[in-house]
């Protein structure tokens, strides 16, 4: 590893690295996503080198427009470890791989994740995305924050902070899963296949485009509503300007009511048919899941 980093990389640290762990998402097993940023003033192009347990399915850089651009890696084998190297012309990069390292026993799942840092990292963070249909989910150590990802699944984030090169970080994940389906299947998302890096990049871009389209639609509804209010205000102003000036002994003109332009009706929100947390079928009139107590979407 000394020769790989010293002779080929040309740098010894990363400004930040986030490792996302997606459980039983679009393939059985686990999808690991590395998103990193090089330190400012790092000479480019720079060579990235990582040791992975499996062949990568995506090695990419993030261009100035925020788009992923795939880069062909150089992969060599060191025993059971894949040494992945590729050049980046951008300060931001992303790589992904799948590994079926889940321990399964009926509905129970467990993953013991250990990461040995390839570089010194100024800010390291770990993320875990819950699978679909979980009835129990435990993390040790516990996360620092929780949020909901755009696909509706819960995302747990743990902030590690600075780590030295060679330092190891651990996270134990255990959960129970009542629904055997993958998240992509249950949520109607595109499923992954063992395809080329270019196809995988297109899939990532498609997911990002779908998220951008959702936010754009929400913004459009807001603009339409604001436009309706603007038309009302303008109608009131025009009406006041058109009133004839009152004269002595002349009856004042009757005030006219400005025509109100109604706001477009709010889009209908349909109630979810299934619990987004455990997958239980919702019945008519249910506001909360009968199994796990999660609030029903659309109520």
Query: Residue 115 has what pLDDT?
Result: 96
Query: Residue 190 has what pLDDT?
Result: 72
**137 φψ region: left (φ > 0), alpha (ψ -120 to 50), beta (else):** beta
Q: Return the residue matching tokens 């470890």.
A: 81
For 111-165, how does the pLDDT look when each residue is reduced to its tens digit (9 = 90+)?
Answer: 999 999 999 999 999 999 999 999 999 999 999 999 999 999 999 999 999 999 9
Percentage with pLDDT > 90 across the chain: 57
| pLDDT bucket at 200, cuts 50 / 70 / 90 | very low
**Structural domain containing residue 156:** 2-213
Residue 294 in any domain: the answer is no
Mean pLDDT of the chain: 77
Average pLDDT over residues 24-38: 96
With a cut of 50, say whether residue 254 has pLDDT above it. Answer: no
Copy the structure tokens of residue 87: 């050049």
Average pLDDT over residues 87-100: 96
Residue 262 in any domain: the answer is no
| Bridge partners for 17 per DSSP | 36, 124
Residue 276 in any domain: the answer is no
How many whole angstroms separate alpha carbon 287 and alpha carbon 299?
A: 6
Q: Return the residue matching tokens 């890096």.
A: 197
Copy the structure tokens of residue 51: 């040791």
With a cut of 60, say whether residue 268 has pLDDT above it. Answer: no
34: helix, strand or coil: strand
Higher pLDDT, 223 or 103: 103
Average pLDDT over residues 47-62: 96
Q: What Cα–Cα distance (Å) separates residue 144 from each residue in 32, 105, 139, 189?
A: 20, 28, 11, 28
| pLDDT bucket at 98, cuts 50 / 70 / 90 | very high
With a cut of 90, say whether residue 92 has pLDDT above it. Answer: yes
Higher pLDDT, 69 or 207: 69
Asked if the bond preceding 284 is cis, omega within 30° of 0, the reply is: no
Closest CA to 61 of 81, 76, 75, 44: 44
Average pLDDT over residues 61-74: 94
Name the DSSP letter for residue 119: S
Query: Residue 133 has what pLDDT?
Result: 96
DSSP H or E run through 93: strand 92-99
Residue 8 in any domain: the answer is yes
Residue 272 in any domain: the answer is no
Based on the structure, what is the number of domains in the chain? 1
Residue 220 in any domain: the answer is no
Residue 86 in any domain: the answer is yes
Q: What Cα–Cα distance (Å) separates residue 98 from each residue in 27, 43, 57, 180?
A: 8, 31, 7, 19
Q: Return the residue matching tokens 């002349």.
A: 250
| pLDDT bucket at 11, cuts 50 / 70 / 90 | confident
Handedness of CA 140, 142, 144, 146 (dihedral sign): positive
Percentage with pLDDT > 70 across the chain: 60
Asked if the bond preceding 45 is cis, omega within 30° of 0, the reply is: yes
* Least confident stretch, 45-49, 119-123, 189-193: 189-193
Residue 102 near residue 29 (C-beta atoms within 8 A): yes
Residue 96 near residue 201 (C-beta atoms within 8 A): no
With a cut of 60, say whether residue 212 has pLDDT above it. Answer: no
Query: Residue 189 has what pLDDT?
Result: 86
Higher pLDDT, 268 or 109: 109
With a cut of 70, say whether residue 295 has pLDDT above it. Answer: no
For 177-188, how does the pLDDT look when each residue is reduced to its tens digit (9 = 90+)?
Answer: 999 999 999 999
With a cut of 70, say whether residue 232 has pLDDT above it. Answer: no
Chain centre distance of CA 229: 34
Q: Which CATH number covers residue 51?
A: 2.60.40.1730
Residue 238 in any domain: the answer is no
Higher pLDDT, 219 or 51: 51
With a cut of 60, say whether residue 234 has pLDDT above it. Answer: no
φ and ψ of 235, to 5 deg: -65, -40
């Amino acid at each position: 590893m000394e020769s790989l980093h010293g002779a080929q990389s040309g740098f010894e640290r990363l400004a930040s690295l986030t490792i996302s762990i997606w459980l039983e998402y679009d393939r059985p097993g686990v999808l690991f996503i590395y998103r990193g940023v090089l330190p400012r003033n790092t000479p480019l192009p720079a060579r990235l080198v990582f040791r992975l347990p499996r062949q990568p399915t995506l090695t990419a850089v993030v261009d100035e427009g925020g788009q992923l651009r795939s880069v062909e890696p150089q992969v060599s084998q060191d025993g059971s470890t894949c040494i992945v190297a590729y050049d980046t012309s951008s300060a931001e990069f992303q790589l992904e791989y799948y590994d079926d390292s889940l321990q399964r026993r009926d509905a129970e799942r467990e993953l013991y994740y250990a990461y040995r840092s390839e570089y010194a990292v100024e800010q390291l963070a770990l993320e875990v995305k819950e699978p679909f249909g979980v009835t129990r989910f435990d993390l040790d150590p516990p996360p620092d924050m929780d949020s909901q990802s755009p696909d509706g699944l819960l995302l747990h984030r743990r902030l590690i902070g600075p780590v030295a090169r060679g330092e190891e970080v651990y996270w134990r994940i255990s959960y129970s899963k009542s629904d055997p389906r993958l998240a992509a299947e249950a949520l109607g998302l595109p499923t992954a296949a063992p395809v080329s890096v270019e196809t995988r990049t297109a899939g990532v871009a498609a997911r990002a485009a779908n998220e951008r389209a959702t936010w754009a639609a929400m913004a459009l509804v807001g603009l339409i509503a604001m436009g309706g209010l603007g038309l009302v205000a303008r109608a009131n102003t025009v009406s006041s300007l058109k009133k004839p000036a009152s004269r002595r002994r002349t009856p004042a003109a009757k005030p006219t009511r400005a025509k109100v332009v109604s706001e477009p009706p709010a889009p209908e929100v349909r109630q979810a048919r299934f619990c987004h947390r455990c997958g239980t079928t919702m019945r008519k009139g249910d506001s909360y899941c009968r199994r796990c107590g999660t609030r029903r979407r659309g109520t």
